Structures are given as C-alpha cells and as structure tokens.
C-alpha cells in the first residue's frame, strides 16, 4: 500500500491511497496477475454509512469485510491504514484472542470505531495510538485544519513512532508504504522513493486530486497488487475511488 496526506499552499489537505493486497496468495500465470488481488476488485465498494438519514462517515471497503481500511468522516478526519509486517504479527494476536486473552482490538474494528465515534483529529490520534490491537499497523490520519496529518506506527501494544506534518520545516506531506519511515525500505520493494520523487516533482503549489492520482498511477507505486486508488478531501468534501489495473510489464509488488 501507499498512503499520502499532503497540504497545498493554501492549507487544504488531500489524503489518498493505493490499496495493495494479495501477495503470495496465488499467481495467475495466464493473466500475469495475483489471484486474490483480482478476486478482490469486484468486491470493492464505496459505503456511505448513515445515521438519522445523514452521512456519519464514508469508506472504500471490500464487501464482506466490516472493518475499515480507508475512510472519511466529513468535516472531521480522513483515515487510511497500511499493513505493517512483523514477526510479532497479528497471527499471535489472533491465537491469543482465540485462547481467551482478549485485551486487543481487531484492527478493522478500531478504524471503524474511530470513523464512527471520534469527534476530532486529536481524539482519533489518541485512540489510534493507545488502543491495544491484535496486529501491528500504520495509521495515516488527516484532520480538518492545516498541519493536521500524521503517520502512527503501531506495534500490537503501543505506538512506536509518531510522524506529523511540519510545513515550517518544508515537510508538506507525509507518505507511508509498508516500512518504518525512519528505516530504509526493503531493497526489492522501494515504492517510497519513487512516490516521494514524484511528490517533489509535482510540488506543493500544484497538489490536488489530479496530481496525487498521477503519483499513485506511476510504477512501481502502482503495481500488480494495487486493487483501488482512493482520494479524500475534507475541505472540498470529496471522496473518490477507482479500480486499478497494472498491465504487463509491471512489478508484482
């Protein structure tokens, strides 16, 4: 996955992501594609969750999966989640949960609760940082005011790192793939540098849905695992998602 929150020169925030999933879950030799990634595409849906006939929050999700990976609470926050691989991973959390140690929350349920119940960026940040979970994760959070964007690096039990937008220091975007941002990415899976190079080329002045979609359409940020691209803007009250394809030749991850 690749998630990015960027702030333009007028202070507007844009939050976007590529959802990549299905690595090593079967390769279709005939069509040069990952089987699970392709099977997930017809399940991608945008959901408008309503309460009292009003939108409570919106999400791009997979039919049958009731947790949230991408969502926006209009006027309040935007949230995406990227997978964080760890040996102390979610399979341990699941085993513990099955065996009766149920302190941790399922990742998708936490993100959904935040979208449903959090009333501010700070409250969301607090919940995503402190709630014990079954699996490690990266949470990419955007708010409704300039400067409100961060990447929260989570282990199962605690927050390991907190990286916030800092336009004073020239950091006008935060960008997360699937590696701790303070360490180099896996050498055979470096989507971070191409994506950052592209963000730099586009520049803060021209950042918009148009330019962010360009970034997320550039190989290898776009790859064989990419199922959808979602883009969200609180200030423009826009939420868009598109199914993606990466025809051969294209990196498998």
Under rule CB under 8 A, residue 159 binds other proteins: no
79 within 8 A of 124, measured Cβ to Cβ:
yes
Residue placing its CB nearer to other proteins in the complex, 7 or 211 = 211
The question of whether 1 is a catalytic residue gets the answer yes
Using CB under 8 A as the binding rule, the residues of this chain from 191 to 220 that contact other proteins are 194, 197-198, 201-202, 209-211, 213-215, 217-220
149 binds other proteins (CB under 8 A): no
Q: Which of 9, 11, 31, 65 binds other proteins (CB under 8 A)?
A: 65
- The token pair at 44 is 């991608």
Q: Which of 230, 166, 235, 238 shows the shortest CA–CA distance to 12?
A: 235
Judged by CB under 8 A, which stretch of 118-126, 140-148, 169-177, 185-193 contacts other proteins?
185-193
Q: Residue 205 in contact with residue 32, Cβ under 8 Å?
A: no
Nearest to 11 by CA among 135, 143, 169: 143
Can residue 1 be called a binding residue for other proteins (CB under 8 A)? no
Q: For residues 212 and 242, give the distance between their C-alpha atoms in angstroms, rounded to a whole number.
A: 13
The site map against other proteins for 14-43 (x = CB under 8 A) is -----------xx--------xx--xxxxx
Cα–Cα nearest to 114, from 103, 96, 129, 100: 129
Contact between 237 and other proteins (CB under 8 A)?
no
Q: Within 111-140, which residues bind other proteins (CB under 8 A)?
A: 116, 134-137
Peptide bond into 157 cis (omega under 30): no
User: Among 12, 27, 89, 120, which residue sits at the site for other proteins (rule: CB under 8 A)?
Assistant: 89
Would you please indicate which residues are annotated as catalytic (active-site) residues? 1
């Amino acid at each position: 996955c690749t998630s990015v929150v960027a702030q333009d020169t007028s202070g507007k925030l844009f939050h976007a992501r590529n959802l990549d999933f299905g690595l090593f879950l079967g390769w279709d030799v005939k069509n040069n594609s990952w089987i699970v990634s392709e099977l997930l595409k017809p399940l991608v849906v945008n959901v408008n969750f309503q309460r009292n006939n009003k939108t409570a929050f919106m999400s791009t999700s997979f039919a049958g999966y009731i947790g949230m990976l991408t969502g926006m609470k209009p006027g309040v926050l935007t949230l995406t989640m990227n997978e964080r691989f760890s040996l102390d991973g979610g399979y341990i959390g699941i085993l513990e949960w099955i065996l009766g140690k149920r302190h941790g929350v399922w990742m998708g349920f936490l993100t959904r609760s935040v979208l449903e119940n959090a009333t501010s960026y700070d409250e969301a940040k607090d919940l995503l940082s402190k709630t014990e979970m079954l699996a490690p994760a990266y949470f990419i959070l955007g708010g409704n005011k300039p400067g409100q964007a961060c990447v929260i690096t989570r282990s199962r039990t605690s927050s390991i790192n907190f990286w916030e937008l800092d336009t004073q220091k020239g950091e006008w975007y935060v960008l997360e793939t699937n590696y701790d941002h303070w360490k180099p990415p896996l050498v055979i899976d470096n989507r971070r540098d191409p994506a950052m190079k592209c963000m730099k080329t586009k520049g803060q002045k021209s950042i918009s849905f148009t330019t962010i979609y360009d970034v997320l359409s550039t190989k290898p940020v776009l790859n064989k695992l990419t199922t959808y691209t979602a883009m969200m803007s609180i200030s423009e009250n826009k939420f868009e998602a598109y199914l993606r394809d990466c025809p051969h030749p294209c990196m498998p991850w």
